[in-house]
Amino acid sequence: MSSGRRSRTCSWPEPECRSPAPRSPAPRSPTRSSRRCEVVNLRAFRSLTLALATLALRDPTSVSFSLALAPALLVLFGLALGDAPVPLQDGLAAIDHQLPAIAAWVFAMTGLFTVPMAVLTRRESGTLRRLQATPLRPVTFVAADVSVHLVQVLVGLALLFAVGVLAFGARPTGAPAAIVPAALLGSVAFLALGYGLASVLPSSRSTLVVGNLLAIPMLFLSGATAPLEVMPQGVRDVAALNPLHHAVSLLRGAWLGEPWSGLLVETAAVAGLLVVAAAVAVARFRWEA
């Protein structure tokens, strides 16, 4: 018999024969590739939105245009026309006829002038080029910029309707809440138009030229300045292609209590503007001039 110590043969699953359990890996911080899976970086979105809102508030032209111009126009119309009935509108008061039209002007002028001017000015000054050098994605910048302009437009619309109701006695025929989705759809659609223009226009100086070339016929053919019913049939046919005409009709119909089933054409036209303008803006977005 051997006096040496025999080595023990281990049989599974005795605890002393088990190999050490694999150590679980330490949690890893999100990598750049995982961050790319986010559509919008929320932290960057919040910071950029705050910065853009601060810049917007420091621009007196932008603030006065979106917040003060429309109520001032309504005051002029209200003092001039008051409760006078509108021709061919079954005795509808002028203030109730004009209030939704001026509301449409607010987001139309923001889309035609304010948005493209702001985007093109940032592009020409090199601000967008510096943002391009950061991990910021274009969709985050656009989402933040849209949010700032949208809040600005909605605050302007709220002030406008408050002046109309409190100062001139405007009253919606239907549910007051019906105007909210109509105003929201019109605002987003014309903001998209502004970004579409900014993606194709060569410089900020061209914004005023192109904006006026679009704004004047759009306003004239919107049914806001003069009833389309008194115009020739050819003019009415052209007005049917005008997105601002459909936006005015949509807001006016919602204000006067028309059912949404009777506003399908107007809703589809404004939504179509949103889709087409957004597609152009996404396809042609540029950080540099």
Q: How many domains does the chain have?
A: 1
Q: Could you list the pLDDT tens digit for every one of the 289 residues in the chain?
A: 444 445 455 544 444 445 555 555 555 544 444 444 456 678 889 999 999 999 888 877 777 777 888 888 888 888 877 666 665 556 678 888 889 999 999 999 999 999 999 999 999 999 888 888 888 787 888 889 999 999 999 999 999 999 999 988 888 887 888 899 999 999 999 999 999 999 999 999 999 999 999 999 999 999 887 778 778 899 999 999 999 999 999 999 999 889 989 999 999 999 999 999 999 998 988 888 7
Q: What is the rounded CA–CA span in Å between residue 186 and residue 193? A: 11
Does residue 6 lie within any of the structural domains?
Answer: no
Which helix (H) or strand (E) covers residue 24, if one does? none
Does residue 224 lie within any of the structural domains?
Answer: yes
Does residue 131 lie within any of the structural domains?
Answer: yes
Does residue 15 lie within any of the structural domains?
Answer: no
Does residue 157 lie within any of the structural domains?
Answer: yes
Does residue 235 lie within any of the structural domains?
Answer: yes
Does residue 33 lie within any of the structural domains?
Answer: no
Say if residue 98 is exposed, middle or buried (CB neighbours under 10 Å; 0-12, 13-18, 19+): buried
Q: Which domain holds residue 125?
A: 48-283
> Residue 196 — φ and ψ, nearest 5°?
-65, -40
pTM of structure: 0.81
Does residue 154 lie within any of the structural domains?
Answer: yes
